[in-house]
Structure formats: structure tokens, C-alpha cells
Amino acid sequence: MAVAVEDPGRKARFEILHRDVERKVLEPLRTHNWAANIEREDEYFIIAAERAGVSHRIAVFYTSATANGAYKQAAAQVEHIFFNGAPYMVESFAHGLDRPVEPIDAFPTLLLQWNAATADGKFAPAADIPLTAPATRRPFRMLLSEQPIESIWLRLRQLQSVTLARKLIEERARREGIPLDAAAAQSKADGVAYALRNASDYFQASDHRNVSQRVLNFYYGSLAFAFAEILAAPTGPSSLAELEDTTKQGHGLYTLDGEPGGLEQLVVGIISNGFFPAWMKAMGMDTAQLPAKKPRRYQDLADMPSAPWATVERLFAAIPEIADLFADIFDSPPAWVESRGDMEANLPQGPATGAARSRSYIKLVDEFGRLTPKDIAEFPGPISEIAEVDAKGDGRHFRVAVDHLGHPNAWGALDLHHSPFKRSALLMPVLGGLKEYRATCVVLLYALSIVVRYRPGVWRRVQEGDLDHLRVLVEAFLFVVERILPEQFLETVSGQRVYAKQPGTF
């Protein structure tokens, strides 16, 4: 009595053929709106496809080296035959057929013919495919220009029109699902257009090439930008008059002489009254712990543990774009790190696991070698497993794990700073919980404006005295502000990410 012997390779061959048919035949068919399915799964597969009332059937073999009888059986049922893998003696195995026999990689050519035959003139057949979202404007702006800052200012000047400002505000409210009545939209538009005109006047004034004037212009121009940011948001104040209720109480910032009294030791802090804490609330920050009034002396800060304050030196440490100058002048650590990928630490995770990666490793790089693992732990974000690794003389490198459930990679879970001068940096909040780069710049501009206006003795030392080493740092910071802040405020006013690049760059 004969005993059937099971072919041990049959299952493996079947799985390979099924995978390749799915990838090379079914997926392209479905992409072009063909209703496709596998009718037979045996020694060969039969695939049926239908679009616009036109039907086709093809067969796919695991290999060209298949018995001629199987070919003839398939030919009686289909119009085209394909085989997987490389061709081997096709004429011999498939002799006597009246159907084409080709490698599976030739299927796209046949699909093009099918598509053309079922088209209705210039149109493909209508497909009943549900859209994942309604058709809307894409959520970012791509600006290409030989001078990117010019294209940014063009968009900002565009919003100086009340009509266009109102259109943007109403569209943003619809996008965010927040009801906004016509009167509020009009009032907001009036305020946004006026604030942006003010910001433009300050930033682009022809006489601001003097360092002192540039400090003042950029500070008040940045305040005007912040007014526009608050008013453009669907929630919050509806008019400049409402916003004035906060500005009447002052800037919401203060300065104190530090020890021994130079510019870098000047202390800047936040109080609960005035414009700046109102801006913090608009950014979603908690202001409950802010003190109601400023301390009288530097020594009083020791009795106000929850009060957010920082020295001018520490604020400069949080500006990555001027980091080399900062390191030349000061010995203190920076308040930022560069984020880099870490291919060595991330083991490959194949698709067979069925789960997306939710934790990845990256490197945080201190190019000046001044930060410690404890310093790295102070940076925001879902980071853990901090460990220093060999930097091979390139500052100090720290490997960290980043939990990024809900994000395809670690970068999506970190609030990274990007600019034309620094591709990717993680910033440490140096003034309480203030994480927004533009806000840190405004605080630093405030401190410099106080020195320019009310501390002529200190400012003279910066301009031409024993603190003249700080002058170039201030000038470099102003250059950074002039380029970056208009772009960041265009983003916050429009509610859209902005990519301003030169043509041909990534």
C-alpha cells in the first residue's frame, strides 16, 4: 500500500508566492481601483480583477519550471500567465500554449494596458473610496527663495491687510473647530493687521543699524508680533483694547543687578502682572506660581524659590546659534544639546513583530564638553537611560532612550528647535518652565533694552569698556533675532508650520 509523502517545501513556496502576489499584483491593482481577489490558491494562483465593468483573470506560478499540463490547465481559465522568480526553460515547459507567459515583474506593463482600456477619455473610472479627511489646505507653508527672509516678510506684509488677516483668522478657527462670530473675527483682524504693521516698522526701520537702536527696535517689534500672535488665535482676546488691559500693568518682567554687577550677571525675572504672563497663558503655560511683585534686592531671590528668574549669561546660553561665541566668552555650560540619530543602539525590528517601535535611542551631543549626565536629566521630554558614550574627542555624547508611543520616531516626541543656523537642538528651559525659543529671545531683548535705556554706565562698558567682549555676542544675537523671529511669529500667527528654504536645499 503506497503512503503519501508530504512535500516539506510546499508550505514555504506557497507563503513566498502569496507574499509576492500580494505585493506585485494585488497592491498595484487596488492602487488603480481594480476590485481584485485570489480565486484559486494551489499549484498556481488565479487572480480576478474588475473595473468599470471590465473583467480580467490571470494566473501566477511559483516558478517557470512547472509541468506543461499545469500550464495548459491554467491557460483554459485565464488570459495571461505569469511566473515568479527568474525564467528557466520557459519555451520548453510552456510549449503549445496560446496565452502569453511572462515573469511577474512584467505585470505592470499589462496593468497599464488594462487601465488605458477602461479609461473614460481623460478620466479614470469613478471609485467609491472613502477619503480619510475632507479636502483642505495643507497644514504648512513651503517658501522657496534665494533670500528666504524676504519671502517671510512678504507673507507677513500680506497679513497687514485687514481683509486677508480676517480670512486667515476665520480659516484657522474652522481648522481648529472653534466657533468665531463675525464681529470677533473682524475685531481680531483689525488688531492683527495693525500689530503686524507695527512689527514691520520696528524690524525693518532704516535707521536701526546702530546696535542700541536695533536692541530697542527688535524688542518692541517682538512685542508687536506677540500681540498679533495672541489676537490671531481663535480663543483669547478679541481686540487690541482687551489686550491693553494687560499692557497697562507693564511688561510683566523685571531686572535686578546681580553680583558683581556686569551685564552678564544682570537678573531677569517674571511677575504675575503685565503683558508677559498674559502671553504665557496664551501659550498654555501655568502662571500660578509667579510672584505678584519683583524682589527689591538680589539677595531677596533666595526667599522666592518658585520665582522664575535667570541671568543674562544663562539666557545667552539658551541660544544655540551663537554657541561658539558664548563658549569663547563664558566657562558655564550651554542650555541646549544637539540631537543625533544612534543607529548602533537601535536594533532592527522586523515587520513580523506586528508592533510599531515605541522606544528608540538617540544621542544628545554637547559639542563643548561641559554638560554632565545630571544636566542632561534636566532637559524636557520623555528621555531616560541616560549614559555617556565615547565621543572620540567631539565634546561629550550622551545616549538616551526616548519613549515615543504614537510617533513614528523619537524626534516626534521631542520639542526640538530648528532654525537656518541650527538644524536640530533640544533646549533646556532656563526661565521657569519657559520652553518657547521666541519667548526666551524676547526676555533677553527686554534685558538688553533696559540696559540700553536706563543703565548707560553698563552699556558704555559693553560698547567701549571692560565689557567690550560682550558686544560681538549682542550683535550676533541681534542678527539671529532678525532672521528667526519673523519666521517663528509667521508660524504662530498663521497656525501653520513654515519651511523657508533656498531652492535646491533639503
- pLDDT tens-digit series, residues 101-155: 999 999 999 999 999 999 999 998 887 777 676 767 778 888 888 999 999 999 9
Interaxial angle between packed helices 437-454 and 471-494, expressed in degrees from 0 to 180 and rounded to the nearest 10: 130
Q: Give, as one character, the DSSP assignment of residue 84.
A: S
3-state helix, strand, coil in the chain (%, to 5): 45, 20, 40
What is the C-alpha radius of gyration for the chain, rounded to an integer number of angstroms?
Answer: 32
More confident: 192 or 138 = 192
- Has residue 276 got a pLDDT over 70? yes
Q: Which three cell numbers stand for residue 116?
A: 488605458
Any idea which architecture 10-118 has in CATH? 3-Layer(aba) Sandwich (3.40)
pLDDT in tens, 334-353: 999 999 999 999 987 765 55
pLDDT in tens, 284-305: 999 988 999 999 888 888 888 7
Contact between 87 and 103 under an 8 Å Cβ cutoff? The reply is: yes
Determine which of 10-19, 69-78, 460-469 has the lowest per-residue pLDDT on average. Answer: 10-19
End-to-end Cα separation, the chain, in angstroms: 72
Would the pTM of this model clear 0.75, i.e. be above it? yes
Q: DSSP labels for 14-25? A: HHHHHHHHIIII
Contact between 274 and 246 under an 8 Å Cβ cutoff? The reply is: yes
d(CA 447, CA 209): 19
pLDDT confidence bin for 4, thresholds 50/70/90: very low
pLDDT in tens, 308-317: 999 999 999 9
What is the reported pLDDT for 63? 87
**Regarding beta strands 309-311 and 101-103, do their DSSP bridges make them parallel or antiparallel, or are they unpaired?**
unpaired
Q: What is the dihedral of CA 102, 34, 47, 71, to 10 degrees?
A: -30
Q: 419 has which bridge partners?
A: 422
d(CA 383, CA 60): 50
Give me the percent of the chain exceeding a pLDDT of 90. 74
- Has residue 246 got a pLDDT over 80? yes
Determine which of 344-348, 461-465, 474-478 has the lowest per-residue pLDDT on average. Answer: 344-348
What phi and psi values does residue 472 have, to the nearest 5 degrees? -65, -30
- Has residue 3 got a pLDDT over 50? no
Write down the domain spans for the chain.
10-118, 141-335+428-501
- Has residue 186 got a pLDDT over 50? yes
